[in-house]
Each structure stands twice: as structure tokens, then as C-alpha cells.
Chains A and B, each alone.
Chain A
Amino acid sequence: MEIVVSDSMVQNTNQVEGRAVPEKTLGNIHVDNPRMTARNVDVFYGDKHAIDNISLDIGASQVISFIGPSGCGKSTFLRCLNRMNDTIDICQVEGEIKIDQQNIYDPAIDVVSLRARVGMVFQKPNPFPKSIFDNIAYGPRIHGLAASKVELDQIVESSLQRAGLWEEVKDRLDQPGTGLSGGQQQRLCIARAIAVSPEVILMDEPCSALDPIATAKVEELIHELREQYTIVIVTHSMQQAARVSDRTAYFHLGKLVEVGETKQIFTNPQHELTQDYITGRFG
């Protein structure tokens, strides 16, 4: 997926605001118990420098949200975490990203096993055009997670239950997943990600295509999932970031401006860019 950067707009706001993006990230990038660590990550799309020297820890069993204006690089950074950027030919990633002390860009690491550990939920609900059952069962099947048909049934049921979808779909597992409502589809996608028992779940604006009620359900789900999984969520909604996340990172023009406890970021931001963004002065 292309990350569309509206240069003129970003530059414009930057000039109007007249503030410099800091060279060094404000706030504490470290956590006590990191699941993933990124150090000095740079991403280039051809000549374009999309991510500029970002270092960040992602704590285990925590929800961290990435916020920032369009084209600030938050989705690009998210996609580095499970190497989804590999699919873009001109994209080049430098620096070091580790999961449990293992460099994910190490040639010895198989990207398939990485993505089984770091699952992803996309902006637009994208269930496979297959039955609800097959949607969930696909991941376990290709990774050989279920030893028997019974076990596979159990995986599907527990995934759907954890995604809060079981009661709604248990009588129509053989019907196409694309026939569900938008919110149900997105929860189906979350269930699909859970089904392969990942350690980290990346969510790229998971609620941007959903109505408020469906959004509330997904947020509730994120709340419940945080106990078992590490969740990284990119969002355009500051209220959502404030509601669901433990830590918040603010991105601007490919740089990580500020990171900290969500409460602190929203009540006492250290940088004026963060302050202006969360108070809605631009973005």
C-alpha cells in the first residue's frame, strides 16, 4: 500500500506554525519490559526519507498508540514492525528492530514466522471471500497450528469468542465473511489475527471505516486483548488514543516528536507541536 504524503500541506502547516521538529525525541522511549525495540530506524521510499531516525520501545502487554497528522510516517513505521513494507519494491528500511532480542531484519529470520508472531489488522476490514470459519482457520492451517479437526474447531471458537463475535456468528460459520456488517468484519479480522496466537497485534486505523457503535465495540475488544497481547494502534482519533492506550507516540514529518504515558501526553505535552496537534490546532 502506498503511503500518500501531501507535501504541500505538511510544509504549509509547518511554515505557518513556524516550529522546528526536534532532532531528539522528547519523553522516555524506553520501557521496563519491552517486547519490541526499534533503534535508529530510517525508511526511504526511493529518494523520499519517510522515517527519520526513530527509536522506540514497545512494552509487553501494553497498548501503544501512534498519532500524528497525515503522512507523518506512523503507518509506515507500523508496517516496519512486521515487515509488510517488504512488498513495496522501492521501500528500504535501515536500522534495527528487534522482537524478544531477535533482529527481525536479520536474513536468517523468516518473514512468515515473524508475521505469525506479529499479526496485523488493517484500516479497511478485509476478510477473505470465504466462509467465516475458513477466515479464522486459514492462519492456523497454513502454520500447522491445529493437530486435528477438533483442535481447529476449538481455535476458531476461542478466537471468535475473544473477538466478541462468537455469539453473533456461531450459527452461520459456513456463510461468507464478506456478508457481515463492517464492524463485525473488522472484529472477524481481529479474530483472524488472534487465531495464530501472535505476541503483538498491529492495528492500522482499525476504526476509521466504522460507525461509532462498531468503534466502541472494537475499543472494548482492545481493552480486553491488552492482557494477553501487545497492541500497537495507529489512529487519527485522539479520543481513541486517549481511551485505549497506555502509551502514546506523536509523529511529525517522519520524526518521532514525543512519546510518553498517554495521560501525560494528553494533559502535559512537552513539545508545542504535540500540544497544537492534540488541541486540534492542525492535523
Chain B
Amino acid sequence: MTDRTYQGLDPQQAAERVAASINLRKRKETRFVWLGKTAVAIALGFLVLLFAGILTKGIPGLFQYYVTLDLQLDAQQLDPSGQMTVESLAGGDFDGVIRASLYEALGNPEGRKAKREARRLISSGSSQRLMTYVLDNPEQLGSTVSIQFAVDDDVDTFLRGLISRETPEADRRISDQLINYIDALNAQGRISYEISDYLFFGSASRDAEMAGIRGALVGSIFTLLVCIVIAFPLGVATAVYLEEMAPKNRLTEIIEININNLAAVPSVVFGIMGLAIFIVAFGMPRSIPLVGGIVLALMTLPTIIISSRAAIRAVPPSIRDAALGVGASKMQTIMHHVLPLAMPGMLTGTIIGMAQALGETAPLLMIGMVAFIVDVPAGVTDPGTVLPVQIFMWADFAERMFVQKTSAAIIVLLAFLISMNAAAILLRKKLERRW
């Protein structure tokens, strides 16, 4: 403004400058688009890498090797008292029947050492499996049946090719003789590679070939049920109150800040709190899904509250005006209009919270859900564990077969997560269509 004679740019000059600036803008735009594309590509690359890694490791973990044996089910030997109950069968010699059949398949090896090696072929849980079979099929007593038994985890590892024949005998976990037996059974076509029933129907076990995730899966379901039953209604009610009813004053401001802060608290802190309050102060039992669910509910509450509030705020004020205008009370306006419109957003937040809870390990370790529990929990007050904790425990075991089991369990966890998300998306679609 100092130059009083300044008359502005002439149009020719202005057009040139605009052209120059347009080039600059275009270059910036192109650079930005490229940056974005690279970022997406990198993210996708890592995702593919992650899935490829999990699937290549985990899919073999869904299968395991079985050996088929022909068993002569001698009633006298298996059920000496003839009552066909769990107690009477406990007196039966199931191991003997299995061993006899095994020795026969291997051409009746001589000597204690040879026999001991032969016994190492099959899983130590085989007698349990035979007992279950007999209980389910009592009419088969006295006849000859073929049953598949899992092979021992070292044999399984060998069959997968993870133990080399070239390794000196002293350095590998299976002996030359055992390898000969395996070859013999293979030649007879008795060894098969099938979907692992132990993985899906078995419970925690130190024997890798028998270890399964059923207990952990059921524990996870119970824990999440408790979590959602507590967190969803509480979270939605809190959000509705804070957003629609609470007066805007100091107190509500402090509450709001604290809720936001809670969302950032490390989950292990919630675990310690659960330990101190529910287990120590209230005297609730350790390791139960009920306590786990409550702790996870406290952890996910802030997530649900924050997303629910955002969903409520996104409902256009004109809808509230419309409802109030025809004489709906505040409660009716909320229940009939605001909540249904905000529900899809609330569900999204809840699912994010639940997914977070499903994958949580640390707080559950604090309340003892890491215990080694063989029984599948029958209710929320039965001790149990959850999938991520089970994965954590398996990853810690030395046996090689647990690597595959761990990867398989991770696949199951991911499948659980994806089906949960899919259910939420379907539910959301359905709710949205209603409006």
C-alpha cells in the first residue's frame, strides 16, 4: 500500500502468474497422491505378509498325523466288572489292548527296548480315546474295530519332515528304530494326515498332539458374553445421559475428561484393579470368566462411551426438533429417534471394543486366567482361560509341535474376530435398512 500509483496487475501478467501457480499446485497434488498410494501399498504389503505368514504356519497346524490300529475289544479285558460305567472302565486295561494291536502291526518286536520304542509311536492319550469310544459304542465289545490314534508329537514332527533322517541319532528326538517302525506303518498305509480333532475338541494339555483350544474358545465366549452384557448397556446409558440429559457444568466436564483418560490406561492396570477389587476385596474366585468379563468390560467401557457419544452427536438436531415439536417427551425423543439413529454407530464402537477385549491378554493374566485348566468351563463361574492367553502359553512351550498348534490357534482367534465383525456389520445393515 506504500506505492500510491500501484494500479494492480494487468490481466496479461496475472494470467502468467496464475499459470505458474497452477503448475506448482499440480505438482503438489501429484506428490500427495503418490504419497497416499505408497502408504496404502505398504500397509497392504504388510497385511499380505502377515496373513501369508499366519496361514502358511497355521494351516498345517489344523492337521495332524494319525495311525490306524485294528483293535480286538475284549470285554473281559476292558470292562472286568461288566457294568459299562466310567468307574468300571477305569479298571480295564486299555493300554494293553492298544499295545497288543500296535505290536502286531509292527511284526511283534522282541525285547523290552524294542517294545518301549514301539510304544513311543502313539500318543499317551490313546487309552483315553479308546475308553471314550467304548463308552459311546458298547455294542462293539467283543468285535474287532479300526480306530485312529494320534501319533506322538515327536513322530508328528518327524512325519512333517522337520526332523531329518540325516541328523545323527544322538542329536534327534527319535531313534533309528522308531523311524523304522514309522516306515513300516507307512508302508502298510496305516498313517494318515487329517484334520486334527484334538485341536478343536481337546482341552489344554502338556502333550502337544492332544492339546486343543476348546476350553479356551468356550472361556473366550463366556468372558465376552459377560463383557458385552455389562459394557454395552452401561456404555450406551452413560453416553445418552452425558450427551442428552446431563447439565453442562464442572462435574460433567471432569467426568468427561476422566472417561477420555480411561481409554488410554494400559490394560494391565485394569487387571491389577480387578485383582485388588474383585478377587482380594470381594473374594471372588480366581481364573473365572465372570471376573475376566467384568475387567474387560471396564476396559472397553470408555471406547463404547466415546463412540456412542459421537454417534449420538451425529444425529441431526432437526430430528430432535421434529420429535419435540409434535409433543414427544425428552425420553421419547431419545428412545424413538435418537437411539435408533445412533445405534449403527454405537454398534461399531461396541464391536471395536469387543475385538479389543477378545485379543486382550495382560489383564487376564493378572486375575489368574493363565492357569492350566483341563476341563472345559461349563459356566461363567468355572475356572477357564481364553484364546489369546492359550496362545501365549503355547508359544512358551518347548515342543516343536506347539509351534503349529499356536499358529492354528491364532487362525481360530482371527476367524472368531472376523465372524464377530461380520455379525456386527450384518446387524448394522439390518438396523439401517429399517430406517
Q: A interface vs B, CB < 8 Å?
A: 1, 82, 84, 87, 89, 112-116, 119-122, 124, 126-130, 138-139, 142-143, 176, 189, 192-193, 195-196
Contact = CB atoms under 8 A, between A and B. Distances in A.
A119 to B, nearest CB: 7
A128 B323 contact: yes
B341 interface: yes
Given A116-B326, A122-B322, A122-B325, 11 more contacts: A82-B325, A87-B320, A87-B324, A112-B329, A115-B325, A119-B327, A121-B325, A128-B337, A138-B336, A142-B332, A196-B326
Nearest to B435: A129
Nearest to B434: A130
Contacts of B321: 1, 84, 120, 122, 126
5 contacts: A89-B248, A121-B325, A129-B319, A139-B326, A193-B326
Given A1-B317, A89-B247, A138-B336, A127 B327 contact: no
A114 B336 CA distance: 20
Contacts of B247: 89
B318 interface: yes
B325 A84 contact: yes
B328 interface: yes
A89 to B, nearest CB: 6
A191 to B, nearest CB: 11
Contact of A142 (B317, B320, B327, B435): B327
Interface in B236-265: 247-248
Contacts of A122: 318, 321-322, 325
Contacts of B319: 126, 128-129
B200 to A, nearest CB: 44
Nearest to B329: A112
A176 B435 contact: yes
Given A84-B321, A122-B321, A142-B332, A115 B435 contact: no
Which 10 pairs across A and B sit closest by C-beta, in order of nearness?
A126-B318, A120-B325, A139-B326, A115-B327, A116-B327, A126-B322, A129-B435, A112-B329, A112-B327, A142-B328
Contacts of A176: 435
B327 A128 contact: no
B42 to A, nearest CB: 40
Given A1-B317, A126-B318, A196 B435 contact: no
Interface of B: 247-248, 316-329, 332, 336-337, 341, 435
Contacts of A138: 323, 326, 328, 336
Name which of A119, A142, A192, A193 has the most chain B CB atoms within 10 A of its CB: A142
B252 to A, nearest CB: 12
A124 B325 CA distance: 13
A26 to B, nearest CB: 32
Nearest to B316: A126
Contact of B318 (A82, A115, A124): A124
A127 B326 CA distance: 11
Nearest to B337: A128
A26 B337 CA distance: 44
A40 B337 CA distance: 36
Contacts of B248: 89
A81 to B, nearest CB: 12
Contacts of B323: 128, 138
Contacts of A192: 322, 326
Nearest to B318: A126
Given A128-B319, A142-B332, A193 B435 contact: no
B327 A143 contact: yes
Contact of A112 (B322, B328, B336): B328
B322 A127 contact: yes
Name which of B320, B321, B326 has the most chain A CB atoms within 10 A of its CB: B326
Contacts of B326: 115-116, 119, 138-139, 142, 192-193, 195-196
A114 B328 CA distance: 11
B59 to A, nearest CB: 46
Contacts of A196: 326-327
Contact of A189 (B316, B322, B328, B336): B322
Name which of B323, B324, B341 has the most chain A CB atoms within 10 A of its CB: B324
A196 to B, nearest CB: 6
Contacts of A193: 325-326
B259 to A, nearest CB: 21
A155 to B, nearest CB: 13
Contacts of A120: 321, 325
A119 B322 CA distance: 10
Contacts of A114: 327
A13 B323 CA distance: 38
